[in-house]
């Protein structure tokens, strides 16, 4: 199994541009989440999903959209990038029966100029 994969690894955007961060998992996990990591602020939950077709907001959802059309994929969309969205983004998944244990992807480093 590849586990949780994320693309791209690194991205530079200009303010106002849009892009999609990809996340996929091949473990048949029901739960998937997006976190952002900023210095001194830990990991903050952006959006999460408890299954295909079901998503909900986390702690910092503004400026981001998600969808979950399949169990495997959970893309994160930035509609109009802002410098405040410069961060490292981690996707994570977990499974029913041990939903609390997050399996993290390798992360995407995003720089918004």
Does residue 55 bind another protein (CB under 8 A)? Answer: no
Strands 64-66 and 19-25: unpaired
Nearer to another protein, 14 or 39 (CB): 39
What are the tokens at 90? 């981690």
Does residue 44 bind another protein (CB under 8 A)? Answer: yes
Q: Which of residues 65-94 bind another protein (CB under 8 A)?
A: 90, 92, 94
Q: How many residues bind another protein (CB under 8 A)?
A: 24
Identify whether the C-beta of residue 33 lies closer than 8 Å to the C-beta of residue 52: no
Nearer to another protein, 17 or 102 (CB): 102
Give me the DSSP letters along 21-60: EEEEESS--SEEEEEEE-TTS-EEEEEEEEETTEEEE-SS
Smallest gap from Cβ 68 to another protein, in A, equals: 13
Tell me how far apart the alpha carbons of residues 76 and 68 are, in angstroms, rounded to a whole number: 10
Does residue 97 bind another protein (CB under 8 A)? Answer: no
Residues that bind another protein (CB under 8 A): 31, 33, 35, 40-45, 48, 50, 56, 58-59, 90, 92, 94, 100-102, 104-107
């Amino acid at each position: 199994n590849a586990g949780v994969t994320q693309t791209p690894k690194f991205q530079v955007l200009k303010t106002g541009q849009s892009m999609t961060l990809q996340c996929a998992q091949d473990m048949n996990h029901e739960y998937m989440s997006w976190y952002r990591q900023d210095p001194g602020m830990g990991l903050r939950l952006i959006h999460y999903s408890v299954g295909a077709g079901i998503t909900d907001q986390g702690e910092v959802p503004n400026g981001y959209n998600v969808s979950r059309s399949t169990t495997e994929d959970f893309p994160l969309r930035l509609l109009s990038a802002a410098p405040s969205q410069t961060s490292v983004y981690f996707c994570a998944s977990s499974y029913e029966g041990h939903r609390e244990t997050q399996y993290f992807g390798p992360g995407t480093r995003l720089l918004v100029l």
